[in-house]
Amino acid sequence: MGDHITRPDNGFTPALRWEEPPEGPVLVLLDQTRLPQEEVELVCTDVQALVAAIRSLAVRGAPLLGLAGAYGIALAAARGYDVEEAADLLARARPTAVNLEYGVRRAVEAYRKAPAEQGAAAALAAARALHAEDAAASRAMVEHGERLLAELAPGGGYRLLTHCNTGALVSGGEGTALGVVQAVHRSGELRRLWVDETRPLLQGARLTAYEAARAGMPYTLLADSAAGSLFTAGEVDAVLVGADRIAADGSTANKVGTYPLAVLARYHHVPFIVVAPTTTVDLGTPDGASIEVEQRAGSEVTDFAPSPLGTQAYNPAFDVTPPELITAIVTENGVVSPVTAERLAAVCR
């Protein structure tokens, strides 16, 4: 899947970066499957290695997958591989996250439009432009999200619940939902961050807790099934999550376990907020039923808690939350609330 190198813990290691050593360009990824125990980087010299990293979740998170897709095309072009074949492999690596296909398409279009001798440079320029845009989108989402929280739950001292991982590990900037939490923390208004473990692969326990700890946030980890007791006790002021694909009607696919939180939030009259860039909105997918939900290996479930030999497991990577359960969708172009197809389309123009 590529070569691993271990870096000393001397500050935050970027989730993804492009390098050009003498032996040729490479895409360097922070291997998120190894966190939080160690910061190990994965060096991808070809598209096959990058596809393997995407499928294994060494690189993950909708915005970052978009960047990986774009840089993957640049890598293929720079190293003389078949760009069209690379585009097909990358776009199909994970079916639910729309950003991956978007990043691939954007870099491929730049490659096709450029003269043959400039195709690799054009693809790389497109990837770098997308990277900068994602960082800018992150900053804008954070600003919009912080203002929305102040409107929905005035008074500060927020107790926020999140699911999966949505910080700098999934973005060219500070992230989506966790980026908003980070801003609230910097302003001194974060009383408690509740972190769902996010089973079976524990992206909350491993990755969100990792980012929260490094930022000095007051956070508490809980099993996914314990969230209901927090709502019953009145300990949640808002739920903030990311998204991997948002359909035209506002239906939102996110890490499995998100939909139950939306149901709980609605019952307990707690705001449920999705934070995602407009690149995650797929206006070509009409509704939640049309979203292809990735099914992952059952072993991810059975290996987590040893089960009798031959046990079958149901392991969808995502679930879909209908728009009527979503208080607001925060994008870089503004806030969609109430969530309707018309309002969502307006922020995507």
Q: Taking 50 as the threshold, does the pLDDT of residue 154 lie above it?
A: yes
Q: Where are the domains of the chain?
A: 3-133, 137-347
Q: Taking 70 as the threshold, does the pLDDT of residue 1 lie above it?
A: no
pLDDT band with cut points at 50, 70 and 90 for residue 7: very low
What 3-state DSSP class applies to 27? strand
CATH of domain 3-133: 1.20.120.420
Q: Taking 90 as the threshold, does the pLDDT of residue 236 lie above it?
A: yes
Of 6-10, 33-37, 83-87, the poorest mean pLDDT is in 6-10
Q: Taking 80 as the threshold, does the pLDDT of residue 44 lie above it?
A: yes
Residues belonging to the active site: 244
Structure tokens at 27: 């895409």
Q: Taking 60 as the threshold, does the pLDDT of residue 140 lie above it?
A: yes
The pTM assigned to this predicted structure is 0.95
CATH of domain 137-347: 3.40.50.10470
Closest CA to 259 of 163, 179, 339: 163
- Please tell me what DSSP assigns to residue 174: S
Residue percentage of the chain with pLDDT more than 90: 93
Q: Between the CA of residue 192 and those of 179, 187, 237, 282, what are the distances in Å? A: 15, 13, 10, 33
pLDDT band with cut points at 50, 70 and 90 for residue 131: very high
pLDDT per position as a tens digit, 286-329: 999 999 999 999 999 998 888 899 999 999 999 999 999 999 99
pLDDT per position as a tens digit, 255-270: 999 999 999 999 999 9
Q: What pLDDT, on a 0 to 100 scale, did the predictor assign at position 155?
A: 84
CB atoms within 10 A of CB 336: 24
Mean local confidence (pLDDT), 205-227: 98
Q: Taking 60 as the threshold, does the pLDDT of residue 202 lie above it?
A: yes
Q: Give yes or no for a contact between 143 and 176, defined as CB atoms under 8 angstroms apart.
A: no
